[in-house]
Amino acid sequence: MKGIAQTFRQHRFLFTELVKRDFKKKYKRTYLGMLWSLLSPLMTLFVMRVVFTQFFGRSMEHYTIYLFCGNIVWAYFSDATNGGMSSLMDNAGIFSKINVPKYLFLFSRNVSSLINFALTFAVFLIFCVIDGVAITPLFFALIIPILCLMIFNIGMGLILSAMFIFFRDVQYLWGVFLTLLMYLSAIFYDPAQFGGMEKLFLLNPVYVYIKYFRSVVIGVGGNIPMLPSIQYHLLAVGYAVAAFLIGFLIYRKMNHKFLYYV
């Protein structure tokens, strides 16, 4: 770990340049540029709001914020993992010619996703105010799920990018899996309606983070906004650490083999 910190310091300039590049490239040749970071989640939110309020929103207070919590967490997760998956492959031309630590490419994608997330998060806070949700010091607790999600995303990125180098199929499988997972993340419905089945949703790490958001922002299960239990924290942190460890081990094992497959 000490070695990693040192290489990181050594490559700080490269890292910032990579982040800049990833961020710029994302909006190259668009008229609205960075605005899309804000517009696209808002448009998704709007569509969901229109479609689902009829079905799920009548019995729920602050349904818009409920949707928004699910949406921003989900968008961050899918953006970071999709970007992370192709990060190594897209930069193969570089690391097969120049000796640079390959994980930098993944990290830079993750950071540019995080910047994106930060922008939408700002809009999220504005929506909270508009919708009459009280912004309390409790909101600072959101750092915990965000941090967990960040680590979780990096872990998933490490796993996916390695797999993607060996099997290009992963791209399509992941696309399908993401769609499935999205429906299982209770973004627009309330899993409490399934009674005891709700526990099963906790097997889905993304849902765990979404629920954390809701718990702090609008409260879940009829409760006032509050911190989740200790066990819940353990679960949230556990998922992040597990994903990161698995990703780290895979990366360490495969690191030197990537070159032969690109």
Within 10 angstroms of residue 138's Cβ, the number of other Cβ atoms is 15
The answer to whether the beta carbons of residues 113 and 19 sit under 8 Å apart is no
Between 99 and 231, CB nearer to another protein: 99
* Least distance from another protein to the Cβ atom of residue 14, Å: 4
Cβ burial of 205 (10 Å; 0-12, 13-18, 19+) is buried
The DSSP letter of residue 167 is -
Residue 253 found at the interface with another protein (CB under 8 A): no
Q: How far is the CB of 63 from another protein (least distance, A)?
A: 41
Residue of 33, 169, 197, 227 that binds another protein (CB under 8 A): 169
Convert residues 26-65 into a mask of x (bound to another protein by CB under 8 A) and - (unbound).
Answer: --x-------------------------------------
Interface residue with another protein, options 8, 52, 95, 121 (CB under 8 A): 95
CA distance 224 to 67: 18
Which C-beta is closer to another protein: that of 167 or that of 183?
167
Nearest distance, CB of residue 153 and another protein, angstroms: 23
Size of the site for another protein (CB under 8 A): 29
The residues, any chain, with a CB within 8 Å of residue 137's CB and separated by 6 or more, are none
* 177-236 positions binding another protein, by CB under 8 A: none
Which one of residues 5, 13, 196, 224 is an interface residue with another protein (CB under 8 A)? Answer: 13
Distances (CA, A) of 13 to 7, 8, 158, 162: 11, 9, 22, 25
Asked if 251 and 154 touch (Cβ cutoff 8 Å), the reply is no
Task: Calculate the CA 129 to chain-centre distance.
Answer: 24
Binding residues for another protein (CB under 8 A): 10-11, 13-14, 16-18, 20-21, 24-25, 28, 93-100, 167-170, 173, 256, 259-261
